[in-house]
Structure 1
Amino acid sequence: MQLPDAVIVLAGGTAKRLGGVSKPDYKIGNARLIDIVLDEIDRTGFDGRIVVVAPSELAVREGVELTLEDPPYGGPLAGLAAGVAALKDLPGSAIVALMTCDAPLSPRLWGELCSKIDEAQASVPVPKDARAWPQFLHGCYRLATLREVPAERNGSIRHGFAALEPVKVVDRNWYCMDVDTPADAEELAVRLGARLV
């Protein structure tokens, strides 16, 4: 299975509907969301660079790079730009996966996404509902393509990625589900086989 060369995890948000804690620190059972993310990445066999865009106070394991847009809380496009800047030593041909800390199952799509990357400069998951928007923040991209995404503070993802014509991969199992509410957290716990305590 082809895997990306690097992954950028956007993890700088707060979980207002989950009690206001730092979203990557929100716990599902006994595991923080960021720990579940890293475990799901490991399960793919990935051995490349991991860049987490989050405040420096976030505890992550050795080998994971932390970075953050300056000033912080600039929105996903500014966070993405900070993550891309951290990979400045990689060639433009490198494949980079994007993900958010509140959608930890998305690495399960990497094999299919990476297999399509030669057809375009990007491949992104789309929900089964064709009317839904592509999940740009869970796609795989050539790094050169990500370097062209505007680094707008508080800019919208749809606008930032509007010029792209990615290959679309149907997310049949909804691996891009995100955890925004306690009900979402319970659903993720069931999917992981964990129990909220």
Structure 2
Amino acid sequence: MTRPGQAHTTQALGAIVLAGGTAVRMGGVDKASIELHGRTLLEYALDAVTDASEVVVVGTWVPTERPVTFTREEPALGGPASGVLAGLDAFAGTPRQLVVLAVDMPRVTLSTISRLRDAAEGRDGAVLVDGKGRRSLAYVLDTAALAAARPDPEQAFGLSLRALIGDLDLASVPARDDEARDVDSWDDLA
């Protein structure tokens, strides 16, 4: 077991960054390209999954310093569950564990992911929860458990992530400070 903040050395970790939403409350802007303190939200997300041997971004291609695979769900805008499944299909190799992270959570760090991975040991995964117990779009999931929960392709479009993984045994990991905050509006960004 690792200590909080200590990096995992296994190569069995993959990551999916969900960056293909509509951002309706922000006028439809591409959240991955939004800058916060001179860095894009996608750069923050990629920093949080530094330990992943392979990263898939579900969304529109943007330049990145780190090699990643870009993909989209078919049809587009199918929701988070559809995005996760499209991301899972885009991996060159199947990871044992999978980080699922929304691009609009810039306070999630490598330490956050480490805590989620530790909490997921012996379970189907772990989820970051805010101070009120609400789930954030920051998970670590056992890939085999996720694959077992996979619906038929025609049922995936519009399916909520909660419905997709609702039967999985997930540990709740309390957020520290503002880790669970997301950027859903321009006020959130400010």
TM-score tier by shorter-chain length is 0.7 to 0.9
Matched residue pairs, number?
A: 177
Aligned to 1:89: 93
User: Does the 8 Å CA contact 2:22/2:77 hold for their aligned counterparts?
Assistant: no
Q: 1:169 to 1:76 in 2, by over 3 A?
A: same
Q: TM-score scaled by structure 2?
A: 0.82
Q: How does 1:1-197 map to 2 (within 5 A)?
A: 1-3=6-8, 5-42=13-50, 46-55=51-60, 57-87=61-91, 89-90=93-94, 94-107=96-109, 108-130=111-133, 132=134, 134-135=135-136, 137-147=137-147, 148-150=149-151, 152-186=156-190
Unaligned runs of 5+ in 2: 1-5
Equivalents in 2 of 1:47, 1:80: separation in Å? 16
Aligned amino acid, residue 55 of structure 2: I
Equivalents in 2 of 1:149, 1:157: separation in Å? 11
Equivalents in 1 of 2:49, 2:92: separation in Å? 22
Q: TM-score scaled by structure 1?
A: 0.80
Q: Identity, % of aligned pairs?
A: 28
Q: 1:125 to 1:118 in 2, by over 3 A?
A: same
Instruction: Spell out, residue by residue over 1:71-115, the C-alpha distance to the aligned partner (whole angstroms, 9 max, x if none).
Output: 211111111101111236225xx1111101001222331111111
CA RMSD of aligned residues (A): 2.1
Equivalents in 1 of 2:119, 2:44: separation in Å? 26
Equivalents in 1 of 2:35, 2:23: separation in Å? 11
Deviation at 1:179, TM superposition (A): 0.2
Equivalents in 2 of 1:118, 1:39: separation in Å? 22
Q: 1:9 to 1:120 in 2, by over 3 A?
A: same
Unaligned runs of 5+ in 1: 187-197
User: Does the 8 Å CA contact 1:84/1:146 hold for their aligned counterparts?
Assistant: no
